[in-house]
Structure 1
Amino acid sequence: MGKTLGYARISTNEGQDIESQKAALTKLSAIVVFHDVGNGSSLDGRDQLEAAIRLLEPGDELLALHPDRIARDTADLLTVAKRIVEKKAVLRIHDPSIVFDGTDMMAEVMLTLFGMIGMMEKHFIKARQRRGIEAAKLRGDVYNGRPATINPDDIRQLRSEGLGATEIAKKLKIGRASVYRALAA
């Protein structure tokens, strides 16, 4: 067996701690843990997941604690799994225990099932959010969305200094997609 690379993800830096995932992955044999901060509804801006996949060699494995740390979408989860297998590596999920190497149909069924569960969770979260917004409007509260955490002026300043989107994203610890959105606005 080759090396084990770990992958962790948290949705936001506010109130969530990546360190517990990193410690658990290290305890489970990951020699290095890649991690992203961002929601699981899209693979956009998941630079560390991409880096981990690029580093995989035949016989290696990418380890995640739960399927929703990889993706909350069936198609995205299966896409990542199949990209890993194309490198002749293995995707291992700790809980529930799933080892996907492209040869076991039950492992693929399990990934599909947990991808669907992730999609349902995402749907329920958005539905609760919509109900909360509607209730606030009925009470007369003003809803302006989540407060901005990214200063577009900082992004434009770094761009004017000649930095590309990837360098800006790394410097500000944000996703590349956020950089592109801010520049397009």
Structure 2
Amino acid sequence: MGKVLGYGRISSSDGQDVASQKAALEQHGAVVVFSETGNGSKLDGRDQLEAAIRLLEKGDTLLALHPDRVARDTGDLLTVAKRVVEKGAVLRIVDPAIIFDGTDIMAEMMLTLFGLVGSLEKYFLKARQRRGIEAAKVKGIYKGRPASIDPVKVRELRNQGLGASAIARRLQIGRASVYRTLKEEAGA
């Protein structure tokens, strides 16, 4: 029997703690728990999940408490499950009890179903967020994200003879942002 690697994720550090997930994963047999904080809406940037998958060997198990801790949509959830199986391991979800080894169509159907639930949840969350922003804009409360680039500093550095790349490095912003800021300044 192979090793059990746990994976836990919380969406944000605001009042959430991955410690309870870690304890539950250890209770279910995880010898090592990989955990991270971040949005589960995409797989990009999920370094701890990648590390756990890389360490899997034939006969191992990747353990998660719930499908939405692994991924929030069908495609990503099935992608992770299939990558685990390609390593010769299994994906085990505690609640609902799913063991995906690539041979059981019912387990794949369950992952697909819970991936769809995650997608639906994500859709409703974004819709509520959009409605809230629109309502705040009508009330004059929401003004958008504050500007993160100081156009005065960009202009000063340009007047000193620095090029876009040098300005970008100095201000730690993208070169495209420098061009956009200069263009907006010229049009203003």
TM-score (norm 2): 0.77
- 1:103-142 CA deviation, whole Å, 9 max, x = no partner? 0000000000000000000000000000111111111212
Q: Which one-letter code corresponds to 1:51 in the other structure?
A: A
2:52 and 2:142 mapped to 1: Cα distance?
42
Partner residue, 1:80: 80
**CA shift for structure 1 position 183:** 5.5
Deviation at 1:85, TM superposition (A): 0.3
Change (3 A) 1:145 1:27: farther
Percent identity reads 69
Give unmatched runs, 5+ long, in structure 2: 149-168, 178-188
* Distance apart, 1:13 and its partner CA: 1.1
Residues matched between the structures, number: 153
Q: Does 1:29 align with 2:29?
A: yes
1:151 alignment partner in structure 2: none
> Which residue of structure 1 aligns with residue 54 of structure 2?
54
Aligned-partner Cα distance in 2 for 1:183–1:115: 35
**1:14 paired to 2:24:** no
TM-score (norm 1): 0.78
User: Which ranges of structure 1 fall in alignment gaps of 5 or more residues?
Assistant: 149-159, 161-181
Relative contact order, CA 8 A, sep 6+: which one is greater? 1
Partner of 1:67: 67
Is the CA contact 1:133–1:143 (under 8 Å) kept in the aligned structure 2? no
Report the RMSD for the aligned CA atoms in angstroms: 1.9
In structure 1, the residue corresponding to 2:6 is in which secondary structure?
strand
Match of 1:175 in 2: none
Residue by residue, what CA displacement relative to the aligned partner does 1:67-119 show, whole Å, maximum 9, x if unpaired? Answer: 00000011110000000001110000000000000000000000000000000
Match of 1:115 in 2: 115
Offset of 1:62 from its aligned partner?
A: 0.2
1:145 is displaced (CA, Å) by 4.3
- Which structure is larger by alpha-carbon Rg, 1 or 2? 2
The residue correspondences of 1:1-185 to structure 2 (distance < 5 A) are 1-145=1-145
Partner secondary structure for residue 142 of structure 1: coil
User: How far apart, in 1, do the equivalents of 2:109 and 2:145 lie?
Assistant: 37
